[in-house]
Structures are given as C-alpha cells and as structure tokens.
Amino acid sequence: MEKYFTVFSVSAFKFILGPVTGYFLELSQLETIITTVLGMMATVIIIAYAGSSLRDKVLRLFFRKRRIFSPRNRKVVKIWRKYGVWGVAFLTPLLFSPPIGAAIAVSFGEKKMKIFSSMLASAIFWGIFFTYLVLLGGEKVTYYFS
C-alpha cells in the first residue's frame, strides 16, 4: 500500500516521476499506470473544485510581483487559443505539472467536466506511454534518475 501511495503522491505533482517511481518500486505496469493516473486526477479534481480562489492565493504567495504579460503567460494564452482545454491537457504531463495544467484550465473558465475528461484522457495516454518507455529504458532509467 505504501508503494501505491508513493507513486500516487509523486504523480500528483510531477507526472513523469510516477512511472519512474513505479519502476523503482517494482510495481507492475498496470499498477503503475493506474496509480499515476489517479495521482494526476486527484490534483486536477482538487484544483478544479478549489477554483480561482485557491489559484489566486497560491499566485500571491509565490509570485508577489506577477507580471500579467510575461513570456510564459503569452505562451500559455497562445496554446489555449490554438488548442483549448485538450491542448493544455495533452501538454500538462510534458510541459506543465498537474497542478499548473489544472490551474490553467480553471483560469480560462472551462467547465469542470470538460477539464476532467480531457485531463483523464491525457493522463491515461501519457501514463501508458511513459510507463512503457521507462520499462523499455530499464537500466538507463536507473542511471538518469538515481
């Protein structure tokens, strides 16, 4: 049970570390995929329901002098305009972390069910992809992450 909780917790904050942790803890591929997806989705659900009030508090705490039109914000807006919630969901495990991806979707006012469905589809796809990539990498994975 402790192994599952570890993968779950790690995936909630940095998705790619879920499959790597599952590999190190010798979980099966299915166990790794399921706990990785659940970790990301737990974060997405919490952020979606906590909404903009939590996001505003976190931004004030960590980014006191926040520029509205920073280069990063411009990239996020460009991605949102071009691809919408599905684009953000697809890029969340790669470029963003689950909390950031969910906060982006919430900040643009997307409906919760659309956020959940797109993030779930993305989490399943990337969970399978990264789990098998880590499995195929084997010893190289232990070298880069140890």
Q: What is the pLDDT of residues 85-137, one digit of tens each?
A: 999 899 999 888 898 889 888 888 889 999 999 999 999 999 999 999 998 88
At 14 the pLDDT is 93
At 138 the pLDDT is 75
Angle (nearest 5°) at CA 122 between 11 and 3: 25
CA dihedral 92, 63, 73, 40 (to 10 degrees): 10
At 43 the pLDDT is 94
Q: 4 exposed, middle or buried (CB, 10 Å; 0-12, 13-18, 19+)?
A: middle
pLDDT in tens, 20-75: 999 999 999 999 999 999 999 999 999 988 876 766 666 566 556 656 667 777 77
Contact (CB, 8 A) for 45 and 116: yes
Per the listing, tokens 């993030």 go with 119
At 54 the pLDDT is 66
Q: Indicate the DSSP class of residue 25.
A: T
